Amino acid sequence: MMSPKILLFAALLSSAPSLAETVIIGVPSGKDVVTIRMDQSSQSRQSLPFFPGVSAKTAGAKGLSLLKVVIPPGASAEPHIHKGHESAIYLLQGRVETRYGDKLEKSVINQAGDFIYIPPDVPHQPFNLSQTEPAIAIVARNDGDEQEHVILLPHQK
């Protein structure tokens, strides 16, 4: 049985549009272990479905976020940077081409099982290479407010 304080926090969070199907177990006070159960994705600034997981908003995290990102078949993120923050990615499923560099002129292809590091402020844009299967990744960032420091870039030709 959850305490009234936890139930109240879960109710408040579940009323927020971006976290509609989120259940929080524990209190994000910095003194509790917090579990986040997320059944529904949100839309990222990069135009991809994502499950926010651990963040300042869900768990009270101060210097990190951990989330799941899905790139639908044949889709890509918007070109972007994470201003002042590093990203570490573990590709669970799929093959993804990431274009990066000032004009997205460089490219790397990753496959399931790859660990990927993106330094702060590096322009990048991932593309799912499959037309039939989603690509799924777990993303960690040294930013508790994960979406607040995403800066979209103009599309490159």
CB atoms within 10 A of CB 149: 16
Do both 46 and 96 map to the same domain?
A: yes
DSSP H helical segments within the chain, as ranges?
4-14, 56-59
**How does pLDDT run across 64-97, given as a tens digit for each residue?**
999 999 999 999 999 999 999 999 999 999 999 9
The Cα angle at residue 64 between residues 63 and 68, in degrees rounded to 5: 165
- Based on the structure, what is the number of domains in the chain? 2
**Residue 16's domain spans which residues?**
1-40
Q: How does residue 4 score in pLDDT terms, banded at 50, 70 and 90?
A: very low
Structure tokens at 95: 């093959």
**pLDDT given at position 89:** 97
pLDDT computed for residue 7 by the predictor: 39
Whether residues 140 and 102 share a domain: the answer is: yes
**DSSP state for residue 17 in the 8-state scheme:** G
| Residue 19 shares a structural domain with residue 54 | no
pTM summary value: 0.81
Query: Which pLDDT score is estimated for 116?
Result: 98
Whether 57 and 84 map to the same domain: the answer is: yes
Contact 80, 124 (CB under 8 A): yes
71 SS3 class: strand
- Residue 43, CA atoms < 13 Å, CB-side half-sphere: 4
- What type of residue is 132? T
CATH code for position 129? 2.60.120.10
Give the model's confidence band at 2: pLDDT under 50 very low, under 70 low, under 90 confident, else very high. Answer: very low
121: which residues sit within 8 A by CB, 6+ positions away? Answer: 81, 82, 83, 84
pLDDT digits (tens, 9 = 90+) for 7-60: 334 444 443 434 457 899 999 888 899 999 988 888 788 878 888 899 998 999
Render pLDDT for 99-112 as a digit per residue (tens, 0 to 9). 999 999 999 999 99
For residue 157, tell me if it sits in a domain: no
Q: Are residues 72 and 144 in the same domain?
A: yes
